[in-house]
Amino acid sequence: MTLPLDGVTILDMTRLAPGPFCTMMLGDLGAEVIKIEEPGPPTGRRADQASSSEAAGGPIPGSINRYSLSNSLNRNKKSIGLNLKVPEARDIFYKLAERADVIVEEFRPGVTQRLGVDYATIKKINPRLIYCAITGYGQDGPYGNLAGHDINYISIAGALSLFGKRDSPPIIPPNLLADFAGGGLHGVIGILAALLAREKTGRGQFVDISMTDGVVALLSSFLIPYFDESVAMRSEEGFHLGTEPYYNVYRAKDGKYLSLGCLEPWFWANLCRALNREDLIPLQSDQASKIEIFSIMRGIFGTKTRDEWFDYLRQFDIPVAKVNTLDELEIDPHLLHRQMVMEVDHPQKGRVKQVGPAVKLSETPASIRSLTPQLGEHTNNILKELGYSQTRIQALRQAGAIK
């Protein structure tokens, strides 16, 4: 089966969520993704991360457990163990870079230069190569070398100020905005755009992805009104932040929640008719009646279970949805139909579940062809393809250059 990125080779130097998510998506679309991994047990920051995870009683939420063999972020990838601090290992990396189309890394600015695998070095080896660096704040600017995580990037970008109640501390969301959307998704977009540009120019280029920049871009619909009117929206201001009865969540009789998105007047009217409360139709935007309407709605939705309300209201052209928990997500009939939860064969574990590819292509669909590799699982095969003899491979392994 033809895949859209067949023939594209990516060297993946990433470890934390944004980069592996980016390269996973490209791998699902057919790219050959080769993970460049440090041989041996975790050292330095990797060891610190592992010990922090253990102290916390398990993987840090939203982080990647590299050693989970069914970890979806490392599927459709090969693994080669290279210690880039060893000159022989760097030589292998350079040979791989000669043949590659894309490199993805997420070190702090300056680290790859110290390792001798920065864009300026690689560009001399392969001018057609696309080099994508995913960082918190980008390659330049006052915060360029500042340490950070998702919470810090959404703070600088202004997104965190939008979560929570007035006069209370912001509510910290999962690391979806900066890590996965600001970094991972924007990385995919940047790489695909650079691949398309290369078809026209014949040259590769450097793709500078800042997670903070990505979050600011996601806030466009919030920022444009501010730019126009110089009034900054804050938490609990605006229908999309839980301030209005027609765009909110309601607790049902069984303690589960239902979401309503009746923003347009006709949807609100449909809801009121379905609830036999046509008297509320003209009060949708009446701020004086808001508290009373909230009370009425909460009382009504407390009379049936969430699923009973969902099955009833969906008949009336109403924006309504169940607030699924993660254990419900995997059995939701629509998500199963869309193949967003898939079962694939694992060589040790048998059938395991994976999140399916979200991009649906009619002619060249994405696919899951392999699951997370063992560290260094493909080292021998990759080096043989580069022309290394078995004797040379054994010597490199004994020298600690490879795994």
Q: What is the domain partition of the chain in residue ranges?
A: 9-217+341-398, 239-251+257-322
Percent of the chain with pLDDT over 90: 80
CA 171 distance to own-chain centroid: 20
Residue 321 near residue 247, CB atoms below 8 Å: no
For residue 235, pLDDT over 70 is answered with no
**What's the chain's length in residues?**
403
CA distances 386 to 209, 278, 377, Å, are 31, 73, 16
The pLDDT value given to residue 242: 74
Q: What is the mean pLDDT of the chain?
A: 90
The pLDDT value given to residue 72: 83
Q: What is the pLDDT of residues 245-274, one digit of tens each?
A: 999 999 999 999 999 999 999 999 999 999
Q: What is the pLDDT of residues 152-166, one digit of tens each?
A: 999 999 999 888 877
Map residue 77 onto helix, strand or coil. Answer: strand
The pLDDT value given to residue 34: 98
Cα separation of 230 and 81, whole Å? 53
CA distances 363 to 1, 75, 167, 337, 366, Å, are 10, 22, 52, 19, 10
Instruction: Tell me the pTM.
Output: 0.90
Q: Using alpha carbons, select from 267, 259, 258 the residue that is nearest to residue 318.
A: 267
Cα separation of 239 and 206, whole Å? 40
The pLDDT value given to residue 61: 44
Percent of the chain with pLDDT over 70: 90
Residue 196 near residue 229, CB atoms below 8 Å: no
More confident residue, 314 or 230: 314
Q: What is the pLDDT of residues 375-397, one digit of tens each?
A: 999 999 999 999 999 999 999 99
The CATH number given to 9-217+341-398 is: 3.40.50.10540
Cα separation of 164 and 67, whole Å? 35
- Active-site residue 6, yes or no? no
Tell whether domain 239-251+257-322 is in CATH 3.40.1110.10. Answer: no
Q: Which of 109-113, 142-146, 180-184, 236-240 has the lowest mean pLDDT?
A: 236-240
For residue 67, pLDDT over 70 is answered with no
Q: What is the pLDDT of residues 19-62, one digit of tens each?
A: 999 999 999 999 999 999 998 765 555 555 544 444 433 444 44
For residue 71, pLDDT over 90 is answered with no
Catalytic hit among 179, 213, 228, 279: 179
At residue 105, what is the residue type? E
Same CATH fold, 239-251+257-322 and 9-217+341-398? no
Under the banding of pLDDT at 50, 70 and 90, the label for residue 347 is confident
The pLDDT value given to residue 57: 39
Sign of the torsion angle spanned by Cα atoms 186, 77, 51, 44: negative
Q: Which of 64-73, 82-91, 357-366 has the lowest mean pLDDT?
A: 64-73
pLDDT, mean of residues 331-353:
92
Q: Which of 28-32, 350-354, 356-360 has the lowest mean pLDDT?
A: 350-354
The pLDDT value given to residue 66: 54
For residue 322, pLDDT over 70 is answered with yes
Tokens of 35: 């993970």
